[in-house]
Amino acid sequence: MNLGTLLDPTSALFWITAGAALLILEVLMPAFLALGFGIGAWVVAVVLLIAPEGMFSVSALMLVWAVASAASWIILRVVFKNRFSGSDGGEGDINEY
């Protein structure tokens, strides 16, 4: 591994590292801000590992990252909507049962 590969946005290693950094940043932050972006970066890494080398330009990869990040944000919002909205998910007080 050389530093040029790590800094090249058309390599899968760049996106794997970026995704890992964003997920580590998510652990340090009090909100779900970087989680969708980290998942989107890993989706781009998977696309680069599957696709033939040189198939995507940097702008196309950024578009894939934006779409994958937005999709992961929508999915995470649907999945975790009740958990973090302040709603307990129940109809009444637990002492009533």
Per-residue HEC secondary structure of the chain comes to CCHHHHCCCCCHHHHHHHHHHHHHHHHHCCCCCCHHHHHHHHHHHHHHHHCCCCCCCHHHHHHHHHHHHHHHHHHHHHHCHHHHCCCCCCCCCHHHC
Stated pTM of the model: 0.77
Q: Is the pLDDT of residue 87 over 80?
A: no
Single out the residue of 9, 38, 36, 13 nearest to residue 23, CA to CA.
Answer: 38
Place of tokens 């999709």: 71
Q: What is the pLDDT of residue 8?
A: 83
- Read off the pLDDT of residues 3-44 as tens digits, 9 standing for 90 and up: 766 778 888 899 999 999 999 999 998 777 899 999 999 999
Average pLDDT for 58-73: 94
**68 and 43 in contact (C-beta within 8 Å)?**
yes
